[in-house]
Amino acid sequence: MSRLDRYIFRAALLPFLLILVCTTAVAWLTQVLQRMDIIVDDGGTLAAFLKITVLLIPSLVGIVIPVALFAACLYVLNVLMVDSEIPVMRAAGASRFRIARPLLLLGILAAGAVYIINLDLQPRSYRQLRETVWDVRSNIASSLVRDQVFARVTSGVTFYAEDVRPGDQYVGVHIHDERNPERPVTYTAENGLFTQTEAGPRLYLLKGTAQWPDPETGEIEIVRFDNTNVGLEGFTNGRPVNKPWETSERYLGELFNPDLNRPYNQEHRLIFLAEAHARLATPLYSIAFVLIAAVFMLTATTSRRGYGQRILYASAVAGLIRILGFVAQSLASDNPSLNWTQYAVPISAIVIASLALMNPRSFSLQARRAPEGQHDLFGHAGARA
């Protein structure tokens, strides 16, 4: 890299990182607030809550990078224009594309980072996130049971305890099990203990009774026991390994080649395919946004009124292109033959912006000619009509 490249690259890098951190932090806070139920409703620990929220960061960074890069490029180019550094560079013989080259390099690096996030970090973090959430919500002692509160611990099982003690121990237990509608059972016990076994989570009850109605007579039958256990198979059914991975939790190979023997994969096959192509196409927007910012800023003439209008136009174009990308992904989810449009949108923007940047007359605001006999701002005499 030449001295000019290093100067522009460093000038853009710091704003890019600052905008990336600030924007990601704002998006992260919105996600944190949406997951407060992990602590409030599910009784998760602060450590588990922090782990869950941290695991959201990779996917947020992948979304924010192109936007942060676009904002950083607009900022840097605006500063260089206002300080008359770009006109000096042009006067020294640097072309527009030459000035944009270090920004383009930053865009390529950003695109590489988005590829790493899309292909590895995002599915890896989302899988870990799913496991962590399950661990919090599968712990009946900390997530569902409260003193003197009826709680539905799993489908068809309602639990009540007079006193919840450390070590998953309970005093004064009442359980209503209606998973078998023909024979609902109500348990009462002096003590209970929740444990995880190879057969799944179970509640061991000591010194109590089991009651159920006789289906023929309707009379209540009561059986006393010294100890028994109630299975909570609903928890094991909810474990992530027994459920199909969601779209965001799948790696690229699993999106392109899902196991079609599973009904869930057959139903969502087109969505998986569209998501796979989206992950490959999304990083290209980092490059496209850099070139769009360069086109609108580097083709501007020197103006004392600033470049707010061009920044607005550039933002509108970049926003429109990104919206078209979302529309292309949505259409491809129903029609896989349209997946090529997900690449066409950013690539078309890259090609058009590159051609415009290399065309000396593209998007230029020509200076007004001074009247005959007068001189303009640069000392050029006005031409005769």
Q: Residue 90 — pLDDT band, cuts 50, 70, 90?
A: confident
DSSP lists the bridge partners of residue 185 as 177
For residue 212, name the pLDDT band (cuts at 50, 70, 90): confident
The whole-number pLDDT of residue 219 equals 82
Write out the two tokens for 310: 């061009």
Residues in the chain: 385
Cβ atoms of 281 and 339 within 8 Å: the answer is no
Per-residue pLDDT at 252: 92
Task: State CA 268 to chain mean position distance.
Answer: 20
Check whether 74 has a pLDDT greater than 90.
Answer: yes
Query: Domain ranges in the chain?
Result: 3-137+244-358, 147-235
Higher pLDDT, 228 or 142: 228
pLDDT at 213 over 60: yes
pLDDT confidence of residue 94? 81
Calculate the CA dihedral of residues 74, 75, 81, 86 and round it to 10 degrees.
-70
Residues 280 and 256 sit within 8 Å (Cβ to Cβ): no
Q: What is the pLDDT of residue 237?
A: 43
Q: Given a cut of 80, is residue 346 above it in pLDDT?
A: yes
- DSSP annotation of 251: -
Q: Determine the pLDDT at residue 304.
A: 61
Q: 161-204 pLDDT, tens per residue?
A: 888 777 778 888 888 888 887 788 888 988 888 776 666 677 88
**Sole residue written with tokens 């059972």:** 185
Higher pLDDT, 305 or 159: 159
Mean pLDDT calculated for residue range 291-304: 81
Give yes or no for residue 128 having a pLDDT over 70: yes
pLDDT higher than 60, residue 372: no
Q: What percent of the chain has pLDDT over 90?
A: 36
CA distances to 180, 186, 207 from 211, rounded to whole Å, are 14, 5, 14
The secondary element (H helix, E strand) that includes residue 57 is helix 57-82
**CA end-to-end span of the chain:** 48
What is the per-residue pLDDT for 32? 78
Q: For position 109, what pLDDT does the model report?
A: 96
Tell me the pTM.
0.70
pLDDT exceeds 60 at position 385: no
**Candidate from 7-11, 146-150, 241-245 with smallest mean pLDDT:** 241-245
Q: Taking Cα atoms as reference points, which of 135, 289, 156 lies closest to residue 230?
A: 156
Give the separation between CA 42 and CA 45, rounded to whole angstroms.
9
Q: What is the pLDDT of residue 375?
A: 42
CB-side neighbour CA atoms (13 Å) of 374: 6
DSSP string, 187-201: EEEEEEEEEEETTEE
